[in-house]
Amino acid sequence: MTDITAIDCDVHPNVPGMAALAPYLDEYWRETVENREILSLDSMSYPPRAPISGRADWRGKGGTAGASLDALRTHALDRWGTSIAICNPLYGVQIVFNADMAVAFTRALNDWVVKEWLDRDPRLRASIVIPLQDISAAVAEIERCASDPRFVQVLVLAMGEAPLGRRQFWPIYEAAQRHGLPIGIHAGSAYRHPVTTLGWPSYLLEEYVAQSTGFQAQTASMITEGVFVKFPRLKVVLIESGVTWVPGFLWRLSKFWRGVRFEVPWVDRSPAEIFRDHFRLTIQPFDGPEDPDATARLIDHLKSDDLLLYSSDYPHWQFDGDEVMPPFIPETLRRKIMIDNPLATYPRIAASLSATSAA
């Protein structure tokens, strides 16, 4: 484990189209995709041609970024000396309205990730994409994938059909905790509701910025409903959420918890404390000030060195050049963010590395 240099907690393998998933569907769903001419399920949260969805110098033939393992290796893994990278596919398979279709498509996507990515590069790990339309099927998919130690997390979107603290989702948390899988909440919407609380915005800019309010609502819901009382070993990773919203939000949540805590007696300590024990954040996009002193103060307000996880968010365009780690992050924190915090957050990565070094 001593030669680990960097664990990238958020990279996105792009599915080139439904034709790529067809070999992983059964006959019925293969025919359905063909007959209905379902060519693509790209999520509206990440329009493939939008600059933020794919950095210009990472776009390959046809204009798509991150669509091949070679591209991921050249642009990210080899270039930045990445030891381990967690693949988080964002392809819309889990947001279709037909629950049976979501079950079939997420299963195909997870199998596609194994065969096309994990089997071809030992540095890769992945998140299990689940269909929240059918909780028992989601749990079954976690069980099916968890037998492969290269799956290290369960992936859901920041904005779904209902707040994630609701009891209906708890069987997912039971399975995740039992298998040592954090719940990764990634930016994105299932579009069951407008992405702002005021209604539909006009522009992608408004939607992307509004993601942080989705993360805030999910954080409040999971803490308030008592998820971490019931599942004390569960970790949640907020992926591509930005960081600067956290201190102000935790002050607000903790202040008003003191005033109305009588209605949630199981929340027996400050939400800010619960957050620090159970939540982690990936560092890209780092939306903090470009000034070392101000950044140090921001990190100080997080009141923990354990919260931040190294991530490139490849191929999304969050930074130029090769500065995956924002240059103004204090030197003393770098090793923690790049190696120690990810290993503490993802026990299945730590276990696989110990097994490799013992062999």
Q: Which residues bind Zn ion (CB under 5 A)?
A: 10, 240, 313
Question: How far is 20 from 111, CA to CA, in rounded Å?
Answer: 11
- CB-nearer residue toward Zn ion: 31 or 323: 323
Q: Which residue in the shown chain puts its C-beta closest to Zn ion? A: 240
Question: How far is 238 from 195, CA to CA, in rounded Å?
Answer: 17
Q: Which residues contact 26 (CB under 8 A, 6 or more apart)?
A: 104
- CB-nearer residue toward Zn ion: 271 or 315: 315
CA R_g for the chain: 20
- CB-nearer residue toward Zn ion: 8 or 225: 8
- CB-nearer residue toward Zn ion: 10 or 225: 10
CB 111 → Zn ion: shortest distance, Å?
22
- CB-nearer residue toward Zn ion: 25 or 187: 187
Torsion of CA 260, 261, 267, 272, to 10 degrees: 60
* Residue type at position 85: A
- CB-nearer residue toward Zn ion: 38 or 337: 337
CB 357 → Zn ion: shortest distance, Å?
29
CB 85 → Zn ion: shortest distance, Å?
12
Question: How far is 209 from 43, CA to CA, in rounded Å?
Answer: 17
CB 144 → Zn ion: shortest distance, Å?
24
CB 320 → Zn ion: shortest distance, Å?
17
* Residue type at position 156: V
CB 322 → Zn ion: shortest distance, Å?
18
Q: Is 125 left (phi over 0), alpha (psi -120 to 50) or beta?
A: beta
Cα distances (angstroms) measured from residue 158 to each of 117, 164, 200, 278, 301:
25, 9, 16, 17, 24
